Structure 1
Amino acid sequence: MKKGKKTENSRRSFIKNAGLVSAGFMIVPRHVLGGKGFVAPSDKLNIAAIGAGGKGHDDLKNFSKSPNVNIVALCDVDERRCAESRKEYPNAKYYKDFRVMLETEKNNIDACNISTPDNIHAVATIAAMQLGKHVYTQKPLTHDIFEARTLANAAGKYKVITQMGNQGGSSDGVRQAKEMHDANLLGDVHTVYVWTNRPLWPQGLPTPTGSFPVPKEVDWDLWLGPAKYIDYNPAYMPWNWRGWNAFGTGALGDMACHMMDPVFRILPIDFPTEVECSIPKSWTVDGKEAKYPDGYPPASVIHLKYPRKDGKGEIKVSWFDGGIMPPLPDELLPGETFGGNDGGAMFIGDKSKMIVDCYGENPRLLPSSLMKQTVMPAQTIARVPEGHYLQWVNACMAGYGKAKTSSPFEYAGPFTESILIGNLAIRSWNLETKNAKGRSEYPGRKKLLWNAKEMKITNFEEANQFVKRDYRQGWSLGI
């Protein structure tokens, strides 16, 4: 039955004004609930999914753990990928174009989850925000630097609850690590190494060629979104898009939002002033150095330099992926692990070192004997027992300005922007190889100087083409 204006306003007023206790549970009068554990349908948070297969399907399952959530609409350009979600949420209306969904369902939707290829994140997110919808957007927040700055600025403008999907931002581990740092157990940190085992998908390959029919279940034009039109190729779908710069952000974009998150939460830094990258010479094809401007390399090392916001000098942060690892610390004993299975981070201070696993979990000092000799600081930072997903749900139920999330766009935007500066260096590497006179020169070693205020590389103009991409006709951020 179609809701009247009065009923709809009442429901939205309830959602906006409902309170939360510190543990994250909504308090609703018993006569409203109608019984233990019951939440009236009109009092639920209506969520629409933009990207309902794969990670999007996993997101929906996590949101649905809350009794306050109602999945009302599903959008996915590939009917095959979202088949499971459509089966599990049979009452949710299905769309292929998120723009059509938002326009059609704008009076029925309170919030949107965006879990598409990186290429679509910004345009879908801003479209939902402009309609006043709360948004949970998967990491990385955006495809390029300009988009990250735009979404960070939009969060306050549209007064909606925002969260980037880097779940480690709500973990106990990263909070414990910050408490250890703030208790001066490390001293002043001057160097950080961060590493990952990604990519797990193909990278460092020639641009796919060939002619293939588009599967009948797929809207290829919508899948491309703002990207330049190219013919359909199965090499891009459903997962390997991460390795191609038109759609994804490579190993860095995939995992730095997890691995580098502790760095940004713990240390007094925001934007880097310098970035450089190294691409292994082993990236060759038929004995010749590979130069593939359409994709990311199979491995890379990125060095970033950040001025400390407390005025105590600089912090150097180095990123390693594709199997390249930082040097093992002398304090690491035989049999002790250096990070987790997916990677980790090591903080080097003038008093001691600290290692954390993926998501900032399992923080420990080096040498490990310090963990027994040192009195750990008391808990000073509130934990998130409900987890990253339900923290956002509860904040949406409370209303704008009444509850906080771990990765609001005001934080996630600058964080993502800083990460993508590393990709700017990687993509500039191909430009640098034009000037290399042979394999005796090591390309990609130009140190790029970054002006964060102007969002501009000041010493290599060609690199600035990667700060803000040109959108295909019919697509825009709408600002």
Structure 2
Amino acid sequence: MPLKKKEIPSPHSISRRDFIRNAGVTAAAFTILPRFVLGGKGYVPPSDTLYIAGIGVGGKGESDLTGFAKNPKARIAFLCDVDDRMAVKSKTNFPQAKYYKDFRVMLDKEAKNIDAVSVSTPDHTHAVAAMAAIQRGKHVYVQKPLTYSIFEARELAAAAKKYKVVTQMGNQYASADHVRTAKEMIDAGLIGEVTKVQTWTNRPVWPQGIPTPTGKFNVPAELDWNLWLGPSKLIDYNPAYLPFNWRGWWNFGTGALGDMACHIMDAAFRILPIDFPTEVECSTTTAWSGFFEEAHYNESCPASSIIYMKFPRKDGKGDIQFSWTDGGLLPKRPEELLPNEQLGDDGNGYIFEGTKGKLAGCYNTAPTLLPTSLMKTVTLPKQTIPRIPGGEEGHYTQWVEACLQGYGKMQLSSPFEYAGPFTEAVLMGNLALRSYAMQGPNGTTPGRKTLLWDAKNMKITNFDEANQFVKREYREGWTL
């Protein structure tokens, strides 16, 4: 049977203490209170329980739900997935949870029984699912990247504030100690004023820069292909897209940036006074279909790319020059790094360059000054920034606690007020990549120039064709 909340007061409208006081319970009467109030060892009363619905419960969705469930106050009450094959493990982990295929049906039918929603679908469905939950007053946790488009990121951040719901983007390393250590080091002036940031990843580790798949295939019985497409245009089913390779196709995914930038670039946004870039440019790998015959696989993300952005500092101290490389491309090794020392970690990393020195690290490794010998001679700053208990795992339980406390009561690592502008900047790289791929009438690429960005109006001011990538077209029935 599905878990219900009938006659259970919402944890947002009444606290356990208020429940006891309003019921007129006195100290003398505590000996006859029911277990609902007193509880036993490890018992969490329904009024202190967060009832969560998962949308997209396979793969990362399954691990997200497992992360929430580590908090005894969380109850995974509903599961939703368009592909029964992907939901098997979550159904086993949470056998009492009621199962749906269409999140719109679930949110309508179970509105009174859901407190919060976790969205772990492919990128193209993030915003429509999250917005449907927010508009019903549900707290939301959304996997990175927060949205598929720049417009969607702006809209979700505004909606979270309007509906006063607790939000968190699923870049769990935003709750790790390493980024806080890096901020303490930079705030202490160990490398002076930061002027340049380099970031990189070894992604994609899935197919990109390839022709659009063809052929006719039967849709598996367990999969609702129409629901899987969601807001994207209607195309034929092809097994090349599922279960994971959708990341490399612009119809559904956001490529290497969408997969890793919300982890790797987080340090720059968390440490520096920046929000929106003013300029972006890029270059990508060239694909060839024959000898001297350049191929244009515009539906597929590029195999590798280099992106440059300029961010004005909000404190007025000049600009930050920012770069991103992927597909195995790396920045030049710093002269301070010894020949046998590793650059980053597992193909991912960042370098902050300041007026007095450099700081290198990665989202999951401790930051280090360059040359690394400085770590033994420099006096490192004391810890001043509170750590998140549990680090990356605490990213999940932190959100559960914040939902139970209510909007505005607790600071989170990646609320939409932060994650929205951050995601916009990340997706600005994809706007540049897609503009770069557009061919002009004379065989040149108009996107091969610096694009000027008006963040206030969400518009490229010097190449209007690029603005089609700010906001996507939605299929009927799937708009925000």
Q: How would you bin the TM-score normalised by the shorter chain?
A: over 0.9
Deviation, 1:286, is 2.1
Deviation, 1:10, is 5.4
Structure 2 match to 1:196 = 201
Structure 2 match to 1:22 = none
Secondary structure of 2:9 counterpart: helix
Per the alignment, do residues 44 and 228 of structure 1 end up closer, same or farther by CA in structure 2, a change over 3 Å counting?
same
Query: Is the 2:11–2:404 Cα contact (8 Å) retained in structure 1?
Result: no
Deviation, 1:11, is 4.9
Per the alignment, do residues 173 and 10 of structure 1 end up closer, same or farther by CA in structure 2, a change over 3 Å counting?
closer
Matched, 1:379 2:383: yes
Secondary structure of 1:363 counterpart: strand
Structure 1 match to 2:317 = 312
Which of 148, 153, 171 aligns to 2:176? It is 171
Matched, 1:434 2:437: no
Structure 1: gaps of 5 or more residues: 19-28
Per the alignment, do residues 75 and 10 of structure 1 end up closer, same or farther by CA in structure 2, a change over 3 Å counting?
closer
Query: Is the 1:15–1:45 Cα contact (8 Å) retained in structure 2?
Result: no
Secondary structure of 1:319 counterpart: strand
Matched, 1:184 2:203: no
Secondary structure of 1:453 counterpart: coil
Matched, 1:294 2:299: yes
TM-score (norm 1): 0.92
Which of 405, 408, 412 aligns to 2:419? It is 412
Distance, in Å, in 2 between the alignment partners of 1:152 and 1:89 is: 31
- CA deviation map 1:104-157 (0-9, x unaligned): 111111000000000000000011011111100000000000000001111111
Per the alignment, do residues 460 and 443 of structure 1 end up closer, same or farther by CA in structure 2, a change over 3 Å counting?
closer
Query: Is the 1:342–1:358 Cα contact (8 Å) retained in structure 2?
Result: no
Per the alignment, do residues 443 and 333 of structure 1 end up closer, same or farther by CA in structure 2, a change over 3 Å counting?
farther
Distance, in Å, in 2 between the alignment partners of 1:184 and 1:127 is: 44
Which of 451, 459, 471 aligns to 1:468? It is 471
Which of 62, 68, 74 aligns to 2:73? It is 68
Structure 2 match to 1:116 = 121
Structure 2 match to 1:8 = 8
- CA deviation map 1:290-326 (0-9, x unaligned): 2111111000000000111111111110000001100
Query: Is the 1:356–1:364 Cα contact (8 Å) retained in structure 2?
Result: yes
Which of 284, 289, 294 aligns to 1:285? It is 289
Deviation, 1:15, is 5.9
| Number of equivalences | 460
Matched, 1:49 2:48: no
Distance, in Å, in 1 between the alignment partners of 2:471 and 2:36 is: 53
Per the alignment, do residues 192 and 89 of structure 1 end up closer, same or farther by CA in structure 2, a change over 3 Å counting?
same
Matched, 1:157 2:170: no
Per the alignment, do residues 3 and 82 of structure 1 end up closer, same or farther by CA in structure 2, a change over 3 Å counting?
closer
Secondary structure of 2:75 counterpart: strand
Structure 1 match to 2:28 = none
Query: Is the 1:207–1:292 Cα contact (8 Å) retained in structure 2?
Result: yes
Secondary structure of 1:148 counterpart: helix
Structure 2: gaps of 5 or more residues: 19-32
Structure 2 match to 1:23 = none
Root mean square deviation, CA, Å: 1.9
Per the alignment, do residues 16 and 321 of structure 1 end up closer, same or farther by CA in structure 2, a change over 3 Å counting?
farther
After TM superposition, the structure 1 stretch with the greater mean CA deviation from structure 2, 361-370 or 313-322, is 361-370
One-letter amino acid of the structure 2 residue matched with residue 200 of structure 1: V
Deviation, 1:445, is 2.4
Identity %: 62
Query: Is the 1:16–1:396 Cα contact (8 Å) retained in structure 2?
Result: no
Deviation, 1:40, is 2.5
1:93-104, aligned counterparts within 5 Å?
93-104=98-109
Distance, in Å, in 2 between the alignment partners of 1:33 and 1:277 is: 61
Distance, in Å, in 1 between the alignment partners of 2:59 and 2:371 is: 41
Query: Is the 2:352–2:358 Cα contact (8 Å) retained in structure 1?
Result: yes
Which of 429, 434, 452 aligns to 1:422? It is 429
Distance, in Å, in 2 between the alignment partners of 1:184 and 1:33 is: 52
Query: Is the 2:116–2:139 Cα contact (8 Å) retained in structure 1?
Result: yes
Secondary structure of 1:311 counterpart: coil
Distance, in Å, in 2 between the alignment partners of 1:72 and 1:421 is: 37
Distance, in Å, in 1 between the alignment partners of 2:269 and 2:441 is: 35
Which of 403, 407, 415 aligns to 2:410? It is 403
Deviation, 1:43, is 2.9
Query: Is the 1:16–1:399 Cα contact (8 Å) retained in structure 2?
Result: no
TM-score (norm 2): 0.92
Distance, in Å, in 1 between the alignment partners of 2:118 and 2:427 is: 22
